[in-house]
Amino acid sequence: MSRKIAIFDTTLRDGEQSPGSSMNTEEKLIVARQLVRLGVDVIEAGFPASSPGDFRSVQEIGQLAGEDCTVAAFTRAVTEDIDRAAEALVTAKKPRIVTGLGVSEVHLKDKLRMTEDEGLERIASCVKHARSLVDDVEFYAEDAGRADLDYLVCAVQTAVDAGATVINLADTTGFCLPDEWGEKVRTVAKRVTGIENVTLSVHVHDDLGLATALSLAGIRAGATPVECTINGLGERAGNASLEEVVMAIRMHESLLDAHTDIKTTELMRASRLVSRITGMTVQANKAIVGANAFAHSSGIHQDGVLKSRATYEIIDPAEVGAVGSEIILSARSGRAALRHRLTDLGYSFDDKDFEDIYELFLEMADQKKEVYDEDLESIIQERERDVTAVYTLNALQIQCGDPLVPTAVATITDELGVKHVVSATGTGPMDASYKAIDRVVAVHGDLTEFAVKAITRGIDAIGEVTVRVTADDGMVYVGRGSDNDIIVSAAKAYVNAINRMIQTSRSRSGR
């Protein structure tokens, strides 16, 4: 039997840190359910000390993860962080505290303002403290890629001696070349006493587009878990992408002497779900999960693929869930079929919520006749937005044309139930509606990105607008809205981004 490579997913922690990708607890739970279905071995559920919202997410994911999946909570090498993580993890059957420190010169000197010895002392005390609270403690050596090798070995030795069960070497800046990185991992494994009693893992970023190659180099050097995210979401250029690493291992199992337990047919759904929730579009030519990953357009390629798929295709699209058995619902499908489909998609609702969704489903089925999975997801997310909204857009009336002055009249209800009717003129219908909305809402944001997409198929498709709004403090918020009318979608998306901005600042302050 080949080595099992454990998949440590950090979409909900490192991935979520990427600008504009923040998710609320409800959204994180939806992603977590899909991660469980994918069969990941570890879910890094959040950074409990960072906000009450993150704390709650870790708690709730701990509850849903069950026996087979470890739930990890991220901390800095700070006692309070570690205490908070342990508190959040009480619900988890297999809890793990992840703690660590920058080990490169630039991290120690400029970020942490510590000497090398102080760094080692801190590693020892934090790992020991974490071990006094849970049995499973991961030490991460941040920026190991640029760290001095001798110091890295000392740091890892200190963590192993202090009782770490997992050692994670991180090329945090995605700086190394794959061979060099593999050599570094191999050397640490060789020089640290007792490393055979702990698990050695790698965590890399994609700054040079090498994240998958670096992960594989780590595996060849002896690492067994790999840390990664769905769609390679993450800080800057992102983390190693789960689907790429998993499929590369799968294609080369014997050469790598390795396998994973990931249910690859769930990869595409996971990718779409994360893209939808975060508003981070997957580029069409992205490996494994891009829209064109299995498209052949040149005549020569098409001819080849028609004669034998293997000529230009190394992966069967069905293997990653890119073509699945499609289930289409209609108005005649009934409650049982809808509930069954929702369960398959990873949602569970109590009877009252389910009835609400059933009503919305019937409305849509009347309009569209055929209801696809994407339609159901848009119903659920649109409803979610309404339930948690601070401001709700009730109505929008637009007047525009040549030579008219574009004018918008918006009706907005605030969370106290007060109805506001406002109007504004602008350079176009969108500008007018955003200005009208700005008259009611209490916060300010600048629109920095605007994208329109048909999320469902057919001429009667629903148009979804995704906007990015930058708040005065520089934080980016994604808003989404969908409607048959694209200007209404755009206005809903803007209100949604504003709501998220307010909710995030409340969740940070614990309200």
**Residues found near Zn ion in the complex (CB under 5 A):** 14
Q: Which is nearer to Zn ion, 239 or 499 (CB)?
A: 239
Q: Please report how close the Cβ of residue 214 comes to Zn ion at its closest, in angstroms.
A: 12
Q: List, as one string, the DSSP characters of 280-301.
A: -PPPTT-TTTSTTTT---SHHH
Residue placing its CB nearer to Zn ion in the complex, 14 or 266: 14
Distance CA 232, CA 241 (A): 4
Degrees, nearest 5: CA angle 92-98-100: 165
Q: Percent helix, strand and coil across the chain, each rounded to 5?
A: 45, 20, 35
Which residue carries 């983390």 as its tokens? 239
Please say which residue, 23 or 495, places its beta carbon nearer to Zn ion.
23
| Tokens 């959204």, located at residue | 27
Closer Cβ to Zn ion, 226 or 497, answer by number? 226
CA separation for the pair 221, 341 (Å, rounded): 43
What minimum distance in Å lies between the beta carbon of 185 and Zn ion?
Answer: 16
CB of 230 to Zn ion, least distance (A): 14
Place of tokens 């990869």: 267
Instruction: Report the residue number whose CB is nearest to Zn ion.
Output: 14
Q: Measuring CA to CA, which residue among 249, 201, 206 is closest to residue 226?
A: 201
If residue 33 lies in a helix (H) or strand (E), which one and from where to where? Answer: helix 25-38
* Contact call for residues 121 and 81 (beta carbons, < 8 A): no
Nearer to Zn ion, 169 or 262 (CB): 169
Residue 14 C-beta: closest distance to Zn ion, Å: 4
Q: Give the shortest CB-85-to-Zn ion separation in angstroms.
A: 17
Nearer to Zn ion, 66 or 209 (CB): 209
State the nearest-atom distance from the C-beta of 226 to Zn ion, in Å.
12
Minimum CB separation of residue 13 from Zn ion in Å reads 9
Omega into 403 within 30° of 0, i.e. cis?
A: yes
Question: Which is closer to Zn ion, CB of 232 or CB of 406?
Answer: 232
Report the length, in residues, of the chain.
511
Q: What is the identity of the amino acid at 475?
A: M
